[in-house]
């Protein structure tokens, strides 16, 4: 295990000077010749020990610094001097926040001397986040994947991204590049899919986006462009991820229009394009696998954000025409804004690429760099050369299985509330039958008077997302299970109370 150490080059200069000024050492032979009275004395032993110690120190210096100080005209450029940034980052990272907060170099009030308050997690407060906020609401609205934060903290030697000042400054990833992405980034995406076996990438076209959020509209817009001369309906079967309708309606266009439920019976007899169907599998919010099998007269966009082994069993290698993925739900880095879409059609690939060019000139190279580092870390942790290192899929699955089991326990005797039904399934990645490990609870309020399940939750000090946002009834509410352990514990405490009330 290595620990980066700071040594002032001033110190080093002193050492070099002192080594060179070392007085001539008596040789072994001369010491023998001048045998002191009484033979080998304590002083001789001490002297020898001291010399040996010095030799060890020198050897250590040479091993560390090399002999470069001996060869003045070396063509190799010196390693960059990054200590400034490194020290600041280490100082921030070593701040104690009671296990319930963070300090980063860009934390407000963080100073070079290490002073400054922590940024506290939900329901904690105080300069070092040691104070629990009493009666803190359990916020389970957003699918914020913070449960992975602990994983990356525990594996601090992995996943750190060091970005030099001159890293990929151009609009293009490098001179002469024909795509918007770094080679390492694209390779990591393909390698990750190959490791997990959840999607075909060989012979496919991949466009990255600032989150899969950007790509949803990029794909819709591009598909609609391929369907010239009509307003292409965009559909999704309820319950569906609320962004599908929200985004499609907000970024309104003469090319397409959100049209609610898919037309399964007639397909869509008007025009050749049919409907653009958006479908998540596993579904958000219910986490049930789904696919479009009947009356397909138009393109189907599969959103596989949650099709990773910690969240759902990998039952087959998906090979649909259009498949969306996001880093957010793989490693938990929702804030990095990295997603991608895998496509078979080259014309669609060109159009989706152009959309991202016009919208944002591609994806931040910094985000690509970070995503590459994180994905490589995941891949490496599952490589044969790294035995025993617990990978993120094991970590996440264990945690989410435990959470789901606890939820089932809470609701098992409740007639007032129902959880969605999920069955265990064989996972090709874990090579065994896996219990469910969903990211969301999709709860139904059964009592006649509980028409607004979100309000019922709120009465119990829990915020969830109402069913109507997903195109369903407000008797449904979605609770996110992806947050930190402290958030989940708070959620469980509130749920137990709420369920017990009945």
DSSP secondary-structure letter at 123?
A: T
Which one among 193, 204, 329, 337 touches a second copy, defined by CB under 8 A?
337
Largest CA distance in the chain: 113
Name residues contacting a second copy, limited to 231-250 (CB under 8 A).
Answer: 243, 246-247, 250
Nearest residue to 299 (alpha-carbon basis) of 276, 324, 319: 276
Please say which residue, 310 or 475, places its beta carbon nearer to a second copy.
Answer: 310
Please say which residue, 395 or 417, places its beta carbon nearer to a second copy.
Answer: 395
Name residues contacting a second copy, limited to 90-119 (CB under 8 A).
Answer: 90, 93-94, 96, 102, 104-108, 119
Binding to a second copy by residue 42, rule CB under 8 A?
A: yes
Nearest residue to 297 (alpha-carbon basis) of 347, 232, 351, 379: 232
Question: Judging by beta carbons within 10 Å of its beta carbon (0-12, 13-18, 19+), is residue 449 exposed, middle or buried?
Answer: exposed
Q: CB 351 → a second copy: shortest distance, Å?
A: 10
Strands 205-209 and 339-343: antiparallel
Q: CB 171 → a second copy: shortest distance, Å?
A: 5
**Contact window for a second copy (CB under 8 A) among 180-188, 260-268, 288-296, 447-455:** 180-188
Please say which residue, 417 or 470, places its beta carbon nearer to a second copy.
Answer: 470
Phi, psi of 465 (to 5 degrees): -105, 125
- Give the distance from CA 310 to its chain's centroid: 13
Q: CB 140 → a second copy: shortest distance, Å?
A: 14
Binding to a second copy by residue 17, rule CB under 8 A?
A: no
Phi, psi of 400 (to 5 degrees): -75, -30
| DSSP per-residue string spanning 417-446 | EEPPP---EEETTTTEEE----SEEEEEE-
Name residues contacting a second copy, limited to 299-328 (CB under 8 A).
Answer: 328
Please say which residue, 370 or 475, places its beta carbon nearer to a second copy.
Answer: 370
Name residues contacting a second copy, limited to 358-387 (CB under 8 A).
Answer: 358-370, 372-374, 377
**Contact window for a second copy (CB under 8 A) among 62-70, 402-410, 419-427, 449-457:** 62-70
Number of residues that bind a second copy (CB under 8 A): 146
Strands 101-102 and 119-120: antiparallel
Q: CB 431 → a second copy: shortest distance, Å?
A: 27
| Beta bridge partners of residue 300, listed in sequence order | 277
Q: CB 285 → a second copy: shortest distance, Å?
A: 17
Name residues contacting a second copy, limited to 22-41 (CB under 8 A).
Answer: 22-26, 31, 34, 36
Structural contact between residues 187 and 319, judged by C-beta atoms closer than 8 angstroms: no
**Contact window for a second copy (CB under 8 A) among 75-83, 197-205, 400-408, 427-435:** 75-83
Determine the Cα angle at 441 with ends 440 and 443, to 5°: 145
Helices 183-196 & 365-381, crossing angle to 10 degrees?
30
Name residues contacting a second copy, limited to 195-234 (CB under 8 A).
Answer: 209-211, 213-214, 217, 221
**Contact window for a second copy (CB under 8 A) among 61-69, 190-198, 289-297, 415-423:** 61-69
Please say which residue, 144 or 263, places its beta carbon nearer to a second copy.
Answer: 144
- Hey, what are 427's tokens? 């996972």
Which one among 228, 252, 291, 347 touches a second copy, defined by CB under 8 A?
252
Binding to a second copy by residue 3, rule CB under 8 A?
A: yes
| DSSP per-residue string spanning 173-211 | SSTT-SSSS-HHHHHHHHHHHHHHT-B--TT-EEEEESH
Q: CB 423 → a second copy: shortest distance, Å?
A: 30
Binding to a second copy by residue 489, rule CB under 8 A?
A: no
Q: Is 287 left (phi over 0), alpha (psi -120 to 50) or beta?
A: left
Cα 405 to Cα 148, 235, 268, 419, 461: the distances in Å are 19, 34, 42, 11, 22
Phi, psi of 483 (to 5 degrees): -90, -170
Which one among 69, 132, 172, 414 touches a second copy, defined by CB under 8 A?
172
Please say which residue, 11 or 409, places its beta carbon nearer to a second copy.
Answer: 11
Name residues contacting a second copy, limited to 111-170 (CB under 8 A).
Answer: 119-122, 142, 144-146, 148-149, 152-153, 155-170
Q: CB 125 → a second copy: shortest distance, Å?
A: 9
Please say which residue, 92 or 200, places its beta carbon nearer to a second copy.
Answer: 92
| DSSP per-residue string spanning 237-291 | PSS--THHHHHHHHT-BTTEEE--S---SS---STTT--EEEEESS-TTT-----
**Contact window for a second copy (CB under 8 A) among 312-320, 331-339, 415-423, 451-459:** 331-339
Please say which residue, 218 or 453, places its beta carbon nearer to a second copy.
Answer: 218
Please say which residue, 233 or 313, places its beta carbon nearer to a second copy.
Answer: 233
Binding to a second copy by residue 79, rule CB under 8 A?
A: yes
- Hey, what are 5's tokens? 């150490």
Nearest residue to 301 (alpha-carbon basis) of 318, 267, 324: 324
């Amino acid at each position: 295990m290595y620990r980066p150490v700071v040594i002032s080059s001033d110190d080093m200069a002193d050492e070099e000077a002192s080594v060179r000024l070392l007085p001539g050492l008596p040789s072994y032979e001369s010491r023998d010749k001048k045998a002191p009275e009484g033979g080998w004395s304590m002083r001789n032993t001490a002297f020898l020990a001291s010399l040996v110690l010095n030799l060890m120190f020198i050897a250590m210096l040479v091993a560390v610094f090399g002999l470069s100080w001996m060869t003045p005209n070396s063509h190799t450029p010196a390693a960059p001097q990054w200590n400034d940034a490194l020290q600041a980052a280490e100082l921030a990272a070593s701040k104690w926040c009671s296990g319930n907060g963070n300090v980063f170099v860009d934390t407000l009030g963080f100073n070079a001397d290490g002073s400054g308050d922590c940024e506290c997690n939900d329901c904690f407060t105080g300069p070092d986040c040691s104070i629990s906020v009493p009666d803190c609401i359990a916020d389970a609205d957003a699918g914020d994947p913070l449960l992975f934060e602990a994983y990356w903290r525990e594996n601090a030697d992995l996943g750190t991204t060091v970005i030099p000042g001159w890293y990929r400054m151009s609009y293009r990833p490098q001179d002469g590049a024909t795509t918007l992405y770094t080679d390492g980034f694209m390779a990591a995406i393909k390698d990750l899919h190959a490791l997990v076996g959840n999607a075909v990438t060989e012979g496919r076209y991949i466009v990255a986006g600032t989150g899969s959020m950007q790509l949803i509209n990029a794909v819709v817009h591009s598909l609609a462009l391929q369907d010239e001369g009509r307003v292409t309906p965009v559909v999704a079967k309820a319950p569906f991820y609320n962004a599908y309708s929200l985004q499609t309606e907000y970024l309104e266009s003469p090319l397409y229009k959100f049209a609610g439920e898919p037309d399964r019976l007639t397909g869509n007899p008007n025009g050749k394009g049919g409907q653009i169907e958006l479908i998540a599998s596993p579904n958000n919010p219910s986490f049930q696998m789904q696919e479009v099998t009947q009356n397909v007269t138009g393109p189907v966009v599969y959103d596989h954000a949650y099709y990773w082994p910690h969240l759902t069993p990998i039952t087959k290698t998906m090979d649909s025409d259009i498949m969306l993925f996001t880093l957010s739900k793989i490693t938990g880095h929702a804030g990095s804004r990295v997603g991608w879409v895998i496509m078979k059609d080259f014309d669609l690939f060109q159009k989706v690429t152009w959309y991202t060019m016009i919208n944002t000139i591609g994806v931040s190279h910094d985000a690509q760099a970070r995503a590459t580092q994180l994905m490589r870390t995941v891949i490496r942790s599952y490589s044969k050369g790294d035995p025993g290192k617990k990978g993120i899929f094991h970590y996440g699955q264990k945690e989410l299985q435990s959470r789901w089991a606890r939820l089932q326990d809470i609701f098992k005797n409740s007639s007032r509330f129902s959880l969605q039904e999920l069955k265990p399934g064989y996972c090709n990645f874990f090579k065994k039958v896996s219990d469910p490990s969903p990211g969301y609870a999709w709860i139904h309020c059964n009592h006649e008077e509980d028409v607004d399940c979100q309000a019922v939750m709120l009465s119990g000090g829990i915020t969830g997302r109402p069913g109507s946002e997903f195109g369903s009834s407000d008797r449904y509410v979605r609770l996110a299970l992806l947050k930190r352990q402290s958030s989940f514990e708070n959620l469980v405490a509130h749920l137990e109370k709420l369920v017990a009330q009945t």
